[in-house]
Amino acid sequence: MNAMSEPRRALDVEAWSLRLVFGVLAAVALVFLIAPTLIVLVTSLTDSESLKFPPDGYSLRWYRALLEADQMQRAAWNSLLVALWTTGICVVLGTLASVALTQGRSHWLRACDVLFMSPLLLPALAFGFAALIFVNRIGLRPSLVFLVLGHVIVCVPFVLRTTVAALSQLDAGLLDASRSLGASEWTTFRRVTLPLIAKGIAAGAFLAFMASFDNVPVSLFLADERTEVLPIHLWQQIESNLDVRTAAASGVIVVLTLALMVTAERLAGLTRQLR
């Protein structure tokens, strides 16, 4: 009896140790992820003229000051415009590519899959610098069009992965039934496939939007002087004069991101689509 209980006790100790290690690592990760965000939110409520943590007093004056920051508002509008264009193009390209990848078995399609996912492996700073060199080599200059295209390249993998995951869970019998009833390929896609994978597409669109809106490396190289985006503007403000309005703008971004995450979770089941 004792000989049988020893291995079991050893397994219990090993499982407990594994849970302890993963629990500690998860706690450390949460601290490093959440603590900086909380510091930014608290700092944005300061009533002083400079960034200081903890603040001597609390006020909403810097959030009200954002209403008068014309340059920051223009940068935010540029970021929103680029993110919306990027998301729309990524949804179209990512959905079409996902359908082709899941339905085909060609080696070329496998190679395309690797090509589409390569922006996630390549450092974004290296891609942005290479894109700038390419644009200059063909005799053109950075512009809003090239900025959107650069964002599309680095953001389309998010839509591709979530849509492929949704398509992999799709019952092929539904598609066969639609075709057997005389529906064309386009009608089958529009009336059957698209509604069933809509949540996967929405989850990818959310990730693409956030990745584009918050992108720094690509925007740093491909934005021109007329299309300054919000992340670059905030970076320059922090680098030059530590403007407290940057903390307030960051607080607005954090709150809006949380609101979008909750909305995406309610409507599209974001966490389920990412599994």
- Does position 151 have pLDDT exceeding 50, yes or no? yes
Q: What is the pLDDT of residue 14?
A: 64
Residue 33 · residue 25 · CB < 8 Å = no
On whether residue 33 sits in a domain, the answer given is: no
- Does position 85 have pLDDT exceeding 90, yes or no? yes
pLDDT tens-digit series, residues 172-218: 777 778 777 777 778 877 787 888 888 888 888 888 998 898 888 88
Average pLDDT, whole number, for the chain?
80
Q: Residue 104: which pLDDT band, with cuts at 50, 70 and 90?
A: low
Q: Which of 139, 120, 121, 137 is nearest to 129 (CA)?
A: 137
On whether residue 253 sits in a domain, the answer given is: yes
What's the predicted TM-score (pTM) here? Answer: 0.79
On whether residue 77 sits in a domain, the answer given is: yes
Distance in angstroms (rounded) separating the CA atoms of residues 33 and 35: 6
Q: What is the mean pLDDT of residues 56-77?
A: 82
**Which domain range does residue 185 map to?**
69-273
SS3 per residue for 193-248: HHHHHHHHHHHHHHHHHHHHHCCCHHHHHHCCCCCCCHHHHHHHHHHHCCCHHHHH
On whether residue 86 sits in a domain, the answer given is: yes
The residues with which 46 forms a beta bridge, in sequence order, are 58
Q: What is the pLDDT of residue 97?
A: 85
pLDDT tens-digit series, residues 5-53: 555 665 566 667 777 777 888 888 777 878 888 888 888 887 777 777 7
CATH number (domain holding residue 128) = 1.10.3720.10
Q: Residue 86: which pLDDT band, with cuts at 50, 70 and 90?
A: very high
On whether residue 163 sits in a domain, the answer given is: yes
On whether residue 45 sits in a domain, the answer given is: no
Number of domains in the chain: 1
On whether residue 25 sits in a domain, the answer given is: no
Q: What is the pLDDT of residue 272?
A: 59
On whether residue 224 sits in a domain, the answer given is: yes
Q: What is the pLDDT of residue 219?
A: 87
